[in-house]
Amino acid sequence: MSDTEQSSFFDFFGGSGATGSAAGVIAPAEKPDVVFERSAKAKRYRLTLRKDGTAVAIIPLRGSEREARAFVEEHREWLVRARERQKHKPRGATVWTLGTHVLWRGEMSEVRKAVEGERPQVCVAADVFRVPRLDGDLRPTLEAHFLRLAKAELPARTWELAAVTGMAVMAVSVRNQRTRWGSCSADGGISLNWRLVQTPDFVRDYIIYHELMHLKEMNHSDRFWARVEEVCPGWREAERWLKRNGSLLGL
């Protein structure tokens, strides 16, 4: 699956043009406005915006940086708008302490101290998790708990939906992807992002259906989306949710 929260401008071809650079006093190195990368798989010029605000221009195998620079300038307005949208995307807390609100099961829930017990525990919505202590950053421990749940829940749900749709899945893995929600291979393997346990059920199911349909269509053609529509009529709502909230999970 393509990265849901990475803004992209696809399917445009660059023209000719060049940009020059001024010589003079050497200034401190600054982050480049656009990074140019060549791809042997790309068939056309493409402009994407990473989560850190870096714009990346993809150059196809037979393309040139000169045309890529012209392509970027042709779509400069899109890049400005994309960066502006990115500024307004919601961001989750970096450090999790008591009182922090985190996305869990599709809702922003407060990390609360649980009832006193032999070991310190916290509540996130209706779930209770053990932690080493109640002070400091609780995020590493809670994310380890989330990952453990994901490794149990996501494969089970995938096998269930595979049976419903009649798809032959060979293996299901749960990983720590940083740029995508899921992927599949031609040999029947499906990989899912553990953070799906933090999303609503309908979003989790959409991603699973999406990857299952890739076992029939290894592309994003109209025929692929028609197959997704058949098994998951609410996929557009799920996509909208991911675009609005995926940044809370760092995607």
214-223: pLDDT as tens digits: 999 999 999 9
CB atoms within 10 A of CB 166: 7
Name the band, by pLDDT with cuts 50, 70 and 90, for residue 21.
very low
More confident of the two residues 161 and 86: 161
Beta bridge partners of 101: 110
Q: How far apart are CA 225 and CA 66, in angstroms?
A: 35
Domains of the chain: 7-87 (no CATH), 101-141 (no CATH), 143-249 (3.30.2010.10)
Predicted structure pTM score: 0.71
Q: How many CA atoms lie within 13 A of 199 on its CB side?
A: 30
Structure tokens at 190: 């499906």
DSSP E strand stretches across the chain:
7-9, 34-38, 46-49, 55-59, 101-104, 107-113, 121-124, 127-130, 171-175, 182-184, 189-193
